[in-house]
Structure 1
Amino acid sequence: MFDREKKGDRALLLLPHSRGEGDTIRRGEEFAELVKSAGAEVLGVIAARVEDPNPRYYVGSGKADEVAEAVRALEADLVLVDHVLTPVQERNLEKHVGVRVVDRAGLILDIFAQRARSHEGKLEVELAQLKHIATRLVRGWTHLDAQRGGMIGNRGPGETQLELDRRLLAERVKMLTKRLQKVQTQRGQQRRARLRNIVPRVALVGYTNAGKSTLFNALTTGDVFAADLLFATLDPTVRKLENLSCGPAVLADTVGFIRELPHDLVAAFRATLAEARDADLLLHVSDAADEERERLHRVVDNVLEEIDSGDVPQLHVMNKIDLAGAEPRIDRDAAGKPVRVWLSAATGAGIDLLRQALGELLGGERVQSELLLPLSAGRLHARLKAAGAITGETVDEHGWQLHIDAPRSVIAPLSGGDATETLLLRELLATVE
């Protein structure tokens, strides 16, 4: 038995792989980037071919011995495994090598814990962490095993503490779940308010580190943190997107996707993923300089299917053309509809083309007209204003004299059922027929 260090940042990486897993070098590089994002120092890397996982260590016993020797030689205090381990495998490997062992899921959870900034994001991360820890709780009390001896007549402090911790964990999970439900109800009300405004909703999605947050900042006046790190931003950020031919829209930045994202996190991060589910259009951002971009595109599509966003229309954005040596352009399908925009969010090249494509996809026929609204039509006036359809107005004893400029698709659903309002809207829409 051994007493584990509470913290370690000198890491040895263990990279299990099988014959059919594709580019193991790329997988190793990506895992090293995850480790870098977590703030650990990589001392060494050990690859392990695994065709038939060992139920005890996941890797073979010989490879486990090799890891233990490397830990001692390099004086590592942490082993990070690029695979999801069972609690038994993690505990056994930890005992064998004598230092902490963290699998892929635990590492990603740690990164998420560092990156979450909003109250909701922190609650979601803690809830996912507690669910992950609950299955591994026993390993933290192995140092008390020697005190217990036989079970009958000798129920030692280890068991008492373990049961106490389990009860405390369960209570904390219950409390966090209630808090999240309250926060999500509030966010849902805010989202429904945006839906009622009939403003088109656009969400940025893509593999982590594709440049989504940089693009978000380039399109809006946002100040989202952007860096060359995996999961640089987690919390959903929403800003108004202006200067489009279709009128204003709402743009949301979401968490970056990654292969083998732990299911607990996919389930937990409902807030940021809901922005993708509720969007009218997804901007699927890819790194144009990445040779693996097609495979990563499929990874993102798979996650979108998992969160019920697979049927939301997409515009593919090929970012980082400054690194790929490409020129800004719009690719169109046979009908002339924009399907792909090539740009550089860092330099700004091609941003105007993206705005053009968004205007085409979100717009349609525009209503540009003068409208006299009687003072009795205050509700319609409020809905037109909330939808961003009013670009100028004056008011006198006869009512509001409005200048309307908005897509037909924005104005058509605004009637609240009042006969006068319905007639006014019909007359307004007739100006583009």
Structure 2
Amino acid sequence: MIEKEDINFERSVIVGIITKDQDESKLKEYLDELEFLTFTAGGQVFERFIQKMDQPNPKTFVGTGKIEEINSYIIENEIHTVIFDDELSPAQQKNISKILNCKVLDRTNLILDIFAQRAQTSYARTQVELAQFQYLLPRLAGMWTHLERQRGGIGMRGPGETEIETDRRIVRDRISLLREKLKVIDKQMSTQRSNRGAMVRVALVGYTNVGKSTLMNAVGKSEVFVENKLFATLDTTVRKVVIGNLPFLLSDTVGFIRKLPTQLVESFKSTLDEVREADLLLHIVDISHHDFEDHIESVNEILKEIKSNEKPIIIVFNKIDAYLPEVIAEDDLMTKRTSHHRTIEEWKKTWMSKVGEQNAVFISATQKENFEEFRKKVYEAVRNIHITRFPYNNFLYPDYNSIID
């Protein structure tokens, strides 16, 4: 939790529940992420509210006593925004707003707001606007007066500011118009992808904020925007990269996240098409994050959802320079260790090296540590795809050891 108050940040609290499907430790991880999302959107979390329930209250998500506790804290501490970790139903959002008399958001709304801030191109803004309207449509009843009273700040960017008076019919018309606009752009982008020639396509995928853009800059010698916040990159960047004498196309895509709003999966179809049409995926993992295993699982689930999980994948464990294990057992003694004690050879002896049929590599994108092995793995994987596609060209691209000798 942020200790020092920043007057430029929106005063917020976050709310989550412990259920049979989500224990206390898992909720803590989700709330840590929700707090980082809030910070990314421009908010400061002052308090967390947690309740143990069999299932969410259909009227107010949490129980009556807990909602009263939250309301008291809001009044006493001048809180502007309450953010719930799970998606609220339209009825829940309406009921909670009436009780708390402040801005009420859920995780989906918060992520959409961050996307609205990050969207730089007309295409990205259109994608975000479509997702926002799809989210707002079932919530129109009784919502506009709330939006009008709480205009501005987190969750209010985009259609929330300019379409207060919009009714369902106009919103549906707007959704149809945005879909048609995206169809035209998707067709243009599909044509662009088909015009890239026969070069092998490699896509960077991974959880948000794992260092994909940093790696893109290091490998592709490009200037992709990098920031230690979630969803720093929305627009897909494609660069021609050459390792040895072998050229290929490398694309940086939007980061994935747990509980990814379904509206975003639909509206960001073209961005995900970069992944679908790639010949090779580089799955970037932030090994310094305490929950990186869950991040791997979340990304794999989304890859499966978009039917891209059967592609060749290299697991790239990034940020080894920032990895600090809490405790490691040695000879039945619990001994603290630091990152300085773990060499690349030690990394290769861990279970992580066997992830993805032992097709894993450990690097630091910022320090360019172990980049030679990374380049070798990528080169060999791209080479195998290329010579399978064009066997008569196999003499042009020898194995990696030959080109560096």
Fold shared per TM-score above 0.5: yes
Q: Which residue of 2 aligns with 1:327?
A: 343
Say whether 1:349 aligns with 2:369: yes
Code of the aligned partner of 1:295: D
Q: Which residue of 2 aligns with 1:157?
A: none
- Distance (whole Å) between structure 2 residues aligned to residue 283 and residue 17 of structure 1: 34
- Distance (whole Å) between structure 1 residues aligned to residue 314 and residue 198 of structure 2: 20
Offset, 1:410: 5.0
Deviations 1:268-296 (A, max 9, x none): 11122111111111101111222322221
Contact 2:254 2:271 in 1 (8 A): yes
Offset, 1:17: 2.6
Say whether 1:38 aligns with 2:41: yes
Is there any run of 5+ residues in structure 1 with no aligned partner, and where? 1-7, 144-160, 366-406, 413-424
Is there any run of 5+ residues in structure 2 with no aligned partner, and where? 1-8, 147-162, 324-338, 398-405
- Distance (whole Å) between structure 1 residues aligned to residue 166 and residue 85 of structure 2: 32
Q: Which residue of 2 aligns with 1:408?
A: 387
Say whether 1:167 aligns with 2:173: no
Offset, 1:164: 5.4
Code of the aligned partner of 1:16: I
Q: Which residue of 2 aligns with 1:209?
A: 209
Identify if the C-alpha distance between structure 1 residues 350 and 137 changes in structure 2 by more than 3 Å, giving closer, same or farther.
Answer: same
Offset, 1:178: 1.2
Contact 1:282 1:314 in 2 (8 A): yes
Contact 2:144 2:165 in 1 (8 A): no
- Distance (whole Å) between structure 1 residues aligned to residue 388 and residue 55 of structure 2: 56
Q: Which residue of 2 aligns with 1:183?
A: 185
- Aligned to 2:88, which of 85, 91, 108? 85
Say whether 1:249 aligns with 2:248: yes
Q: Alignment partner of 2:142: what SS?
A: helix
Offset, 1:141: 4.5
- Distance (whole Å) between structure 2 residues aligned to residue 64 and residue 291 of structure 1: 31
Q: Which residue of 2 aligns with 1:14?
A: 15
Contact 1:83 1:103 in 2 (8 A): yes
Offset, 1:118: 2.1
Identify if the C-alpha distance between structure 1 residues 328 and 193 changes in structure 2 by more than 3 Å, giving closer, same or farther.
Answer: farther
- Distance (whole Å) between structure 1 residues aligned to residue 396 and residue 111 of structure 2: 55
How many residues matched?
349
- Distance (whole Å) between structure 1 residues aligned to residue 396 and residue 65 of structure 2: 79
Q: Which residue of 2 aligns with 1:273?
A: 272
- Aligned to 1:113, which of 101, 116, 124? 116
- Distance (whole Å) between structure 2 residues aligned to residue 236 and residue 142 of structure 1: 37
Contact 1:327 1:343 in 2 (8 A): no
Code of the aligned partner of 1:348: K
What root-mean-square deviation, in Å, do the aligned CA atoms of Structure 1 and Structure 2 show?
A: 2.6
TM-score normalized by the length of structure 2: 0.80
Q: Alignment partner of 2:294: what SS?
A: helix
- Aligned to 1:192, which of 185, 191, 194? 194
Offset, 1:140: 2.8
- Distance (whole Å) between structure 2 residues aligned to residue 110 and residue 430 of structure 1: 51
- Distance (whole Å) between structure 2 residues aligned to residue 327 and residue 235 of structure 1: 35
Identify if the C-alpha distance between structure 1 residues 70 and 199 changes in structure 2 by more than 3 Å, giving closer, same or farther.
Answer: same
Q: Alignment partner of 1:363: what SS?
A: helix
Say whether 1:58 aligns with 2:58: no
Offset, 1:255: 1.0
Q: Alignment partner of 2:289: what SS?
A: coil
- Distance (whole Å) between structure 2 residues aligned to residue 429 and residue 78 of structure 1: 60
Contact 2:288 2:319 in 1 (8 A): yes
Q: Which residue of 2 aligns with 1:384?
A: none
Give 1 or 2 for the bigger CA radius of gyration: 1
Offset, 1:138: 1.6
Q: Which residue of 2 aligns with 1:258?
A: 257
Contact 2:17 2:56 in 1 (8 A): no
Deviations 1:229-268 (A, max 9, x none): 11111111110111246x1011011111111101111111
Q: Which residue of 2 aligns with 1:224?
A: 224
- Distance (whole Å) between structure 2 residues aligned to residue 429 and residue 65 of structure 1: 70
- Distance (whole Å) between structure 2 residues aligned to residue 27 and residue 174 of structure 1: 34
Code of the aligned partner of 2:229: L
